[in-house]
Amino acid sequence: MSSTYEPFCGDSTQELTLCIRVIRSFEYRSIKTLVLRGVPQSLLVKDLMERILGEIQQSKSLPPSFKKHQYDCLKIHSHAHGAKTNDTAINLDHDEWILSPDKTLLESDIRESVCNCAIQRLTYNNQSHTQNTGRVLHRYSRQ
């Protein structure tokens, strides 16, 4: 069995049910799950992000603190049947899994059983920097 991950070549007309982990805080593990049904694989990542932001605002199950947070990035958390991370909030090992806004979901290899995260890019970068160096990178610091 090969340990490398092979991208999926699927049908762009397929509709997906996506599990989105909405992460407000890495430090405090403030995470809620949002399920989107009927998402076409031909949809652009930036359009998916707009749909996620709309669903967050309309959701009755998300507290106000999640609705006020600014999410600006999508990242793949894990692939089905692939290795999982030990970090319960997000997979910090693969920066290449941050999705490009101008690609379709098919081109980004998003399919059923792929867990995605809606995050704020600045807090993700701080979390990644803290893990690698042990120092927190603040927005206004001169580091």
Predicted confidence (pLDDT) per residue in 19-38, tens digit: 998 989 877 888 899 999 99
pLDDT attached to residue 50: 96
pLDDT digits (tens, 9 = 90+) for 66-123: 999 999 999 888 766 666 665 566 666 778 888 999 999 999 988 887 778 887 877 7
Gap between the Cα atoms of 116 and 74, Å rounded = 7
Domain for residue 30, yes or no? yes
**Global pTM?**
0.75
Sheet containing strand 30-40, strands side by side: 30-40, 15-25, 115-119, 73-78
pLDDT of residue 117: 81
The CATH code of the domain that includes 40 is 3.10.20.90
Domain assignment present for 57: yes
Q: Is residue 2 part of a domain?
A: no
- 59 lies in a domain? yes
pLDDT: which is higher, 75 or 131: 75
Residue 19 belongs to some domain of the structure:
yes
Judge whether 49 lies within some domain: yes
Please tell me the total count of domains within the chain: 1
Separation CA 71–CA 28 (nearest Å) = 17
Q: Specify the pLDDT at position 121.
A: 79
| 3: in domain | no
What domain range is 104 assigned to? 15-133
Q: Helix H segments across 1-143?
A: 45-58, 64-68, 121-133
pLDDT, position 138: 42
Residue 10 lies in a domain: no
